[in-house]
Amino acid sequence: MVKPVMVAVDDDVQVLQSVGRDLRRKYGQEYRVVTADSGKSALEALRGLKLRDEPAALFLVDQRMPEMTGVEFLAAALEIYPDAKRVLLTAYADTNAAIQAINEVKLDHYLLKPWDPPEENLYPVLQDLLDDWQANFRPAFEGVRVLGYPLSPHVHEIKDFLARNLVPYRSLDVETDPEAPRLLETIRASTTPTAAELPIVFFLDGSHLVRPTIAQVAEKVGLRVKANKPFYELIVVGAGPAGLSASVYGASEGLKTLMIESEAPGGQAGMSARIENYLGFPAGLSGSDLTRRAIAQATRFGVEILTPQIATGVRVETGYRFVKLADDSEVSCHALLIATGVSYRRLDIPGLEQLTGAGVYYGSANTEAMACRDKDVFIVGGGNSAGQAAMYLARFARSVTILIRAVSLVESMSQYLIGQIRDTKNIRVQNHSVVTEARGSNCLEIITITNKQTGEQQTVPAAALFIYIGAQPRTDWLGTLVKRDEQGFIYTGAEVQHAPDFAQFWKVDRDPFLLETSVPGIFAAGDVRHGSTKRIAFGVGDGAMAVQFVHQYLSSL
């Protein structure tokens, strides 16, 4: 495989030599380093790379150069390699230009000169950007192939599972994709398979599965569903922002930690197309990027991750908490953290259930966006997840209509998203509106929208309907062991202490810790908690804070 290219540009020969030396020393095995002493010569080099179809991963460019500044070069380079990461080298006096360049040329980072020692001031920044680039880089495809009908619920289920677990895949239409006949020939299929024989999933080792279950796909791509040990100091159920945060902090502080996730790490946040208000990422990042970073951290600190694996029950015996899994096995721990988050509420309207996965989707905008190219799609919901999905879908769809019950988005969505939606020409917001019917033969074709104020109904063509409403906690598996509110959210801390029957169930000679549930040693964090703020940063904070209380609990055993 051709090595991706890193391009360094600086008119100062000595600085350029230093940059080239530092880049080759660290990245020479994986990348080819190209240096240029002017923006003009660098652009000529880029055009040559493009003709040879060589990928460019990163530009490291000095701002103060004669004839063409660094920002001017990056603006031109963006036309040739729009996906390459962009870093500006600046003097202290140029920081305003660098900050402005974040908007002008989508600058990813700026570094003050000098950057010595590179191990502290250069490599960590570049490595983070290169990891991002590699995560989104698409060379000649090597990965899982899903062959079937694009609007099949089974195909959608597999695609969504692979996407959310960050497994590279391609979805191929059995009727129209030119690669389909070749794949069918490899399995000696003389005719096009029937709908009952699809999808067929092809794997890198040359094997394939016909109409596989998610568990079969998970096993083939190397995901783990069985624990290595019978006992852990900390078990975290749920791998959204709160669960990932708790796992990272727990394992980094020496706790033997197991994290159990029923679907895919990241939770609802992992499905966000773009998160722009998360601290420390001025250019924003996708939910999948945030998830990937967190998983890498957790793995580095030794967290064991089971996915997809479902916790089906929990019991307490002396100083241990036992978590029962879907395969009837059990794992035990001293401390248990529940971070199962919430799921989107299902809409109970005529026609919707049978079309789910075939034009009707709960979340999944990232997975299905390409299939919406040049089509009219609708979103139900007015929260940040709905807004992020609308912005992402607008890049592909002809039109995106957001349907909300309220008069406006002001009460439910962050202002930065409202502004972006207002400025995007192919997005419109339709207030006082709900979907009351969905119809289609094999896939969604039309929906009926009812105005809640006037009762007026309109039936409109719809290629897809994405639903982002409600917050149903995933806590049924707890039974009656842990006290919850009427909706299923878990009481913690003072809420537990103020329960009228507190003295009957709390038998420990201390008050509950802030994030502790009605059962000593069982904690809750993130969206699943009663009264929590449904934001990613709050979930991350909850997870980190919960680990401190876990330590206090463990020290008392």
Of 341, 447, 339, nearest in space to 401 by CA: 447
User: What tokens does 244 get?
Assistant: 């990932």
Per-residue tokens: 273: 């197309």
Model-level pTM? 0.78
pLDDT in tens, 497-548: 999 899 999 999 999 999 999 999 999 999 999 999 888 999 999 999 999 9
For the segment 227-238, what is each residue's pLDDT rounded down to a tens digit?
999 999 999 999
pLDDT computed for residue 93 by the predictor? 61
Tell me the pLDDT band of 104, cut-offs 50, 70 and 90. confident
> What would the mean pLDDT of 245-266 be, rounded to a whole number?
96
Q: List the one residue out of 370, 379, 343 whose CA is nearest residue 464.
A: 379
> Beta strands of 363-426 (E only): which ranges?
376-380, 399-403
Rounded-to-integer distance, Cα 262 and Cα 265, Å: 9
Instruction: Give the β-pairing of 5-9 and 56-62.
Output: parallel
Q: What is the dihedral of CA 408, 411, 414, 418, to 10 degrees?
A: 10
| Residue among 127, 30, 138, 141 at smallest CA distance from 83 | 138
Choose among 5, 66, 78: nearest CA to 37: 66
Look at strands 427-430 and 399-403 and give their pairing. parallel
Walk me through the domains of the chain, giving residue ranges and CATH numbers.
5-136 (3.40.50.2300), 144-213 (3.40.30.10), 231-343+472-555 (3.50.50.60), 352-467 (3.50.50.60)
Tell me the pairing of strands 169-173 and 208-210. unpaired
**pLDDT range class, residue 92, cuts 50, 70, 90:** low
Spatial distance between the Cα atoms of 400 and 378, rounded to a whole number of angstroms = 6
Q: Please report which confidence band the pLDDT of residue 364 belongs to, taking 50, 70 and 90 as the band edges.
A: confident
Helices (runs of H) and strands (runs of E) counted in the chain: 18, 26
474-477 contact pairs (CB < 8 A, 24+): 474/238, 474/262, 474/340, 474/341, 474/342, 474/343, 474/528, 475/338, 475/340, 475/528, 477/310, 477/311, 477/312, 477/313, 477/314
Q: What is the DSSP letter of 53?
A: T
